Amino acid sequence: MSNSNKTNVQVRVDLPYGGGPQRNLCVDIYLPTTAGPHPALLCLHGGAWLRGSQRQYKSWAPWLAERGYAVVAVDYRLSSQVSPAWPGVWEDVCRALDWLIANAASMHIDPARIGTIGDSVGGHMAAMLSLHETTAKHIRVMVGVYGIYDLPDWWHVTRPPKRTDDPVVKLMGRSYPEAKDDYEDFSPLHRLQKFAGKPAASYLIIHGDQDAVVHHNQSERFVAELRAKDASVEDMLIPGAGHHWFTLADDNPARRRVDEEPNTIIAPVLLRFLQRGV
């Protein structure tokens, strides 16, 4: 395990967790140097299931680790590499959670205090972790940033000619009319509508009102359904904010560091939310 002198955080990158068709996908881990056990955050990047990697959390992860949270940032299979990526991409995310739990003791993590953070399609899968019967018991908090919560709706929005990359069909392999049950089973909003009782996790849903990639009504409808289910939920609307800005990527100038707006506005809210919930 290597130490970062700048942040006093233990960092290890490209650690295989068993994901992907070849079982060779990796996580990056960022661990506090203070005595544990620490709460943990499983972080899932965006990119329309077509692009991106765990490195997109390279700004948030050390910031969170400095404040006492162990961060596991996950690389999962992309539909640009393996199409359709579903259900394998979901298996990857679940396998990463299992890996975190199995290795909790060696990383000084408290396996009873796990949360998940995701942006865009990462928010979709973070929400799924909080609602799926096989994983929900492990998730205490879920943070979604401009997430996709209604998968059939995003299929309608993104199919050609509206978008030429057709991300949802490349993910699922078939259109919504051809695979209605699969789409709705892998759609957090539809799963929540069928959810019996109150979700156990607490939610922080963040979105901008000028998002041209994932309309803010995705977040608004998910928040409304969470409230209808009496879930613990906070909703943060960022005026003037579009898409991409939450995480960092060198090849996308729209992405931002933690110390850049609007992340500077979000950071204290996020920290208070995590301190209360995990």
Domains in the chain: boundaries:
2-277
**Phi and psi angles of residue 112, each rounded to the nearest 5 degrees, phi first:** -90, 0
The arithmetic mean of pLDDT across residues 198-213, rounded, is 97
Residue 52 structure tokens = 């991106």
pTM attached to this predicted model: 0.96
Cα of first residue to Cα of last residue in the chain, in angstroms, is 25
Residues 172-197: tens digit of each pLDDT? 999 999 999 999 999 999 999 999 89
Q: Which fold does the domain 2-277 belong to in CATH?
A: Rossmann fold (3.40.50)
- What average pLDDT does range 67-72 have in this prediction? 98
| pLDDT tens readout for residues 225-258 | 999 999 999 999 999 999 999 999 888 888 999 9
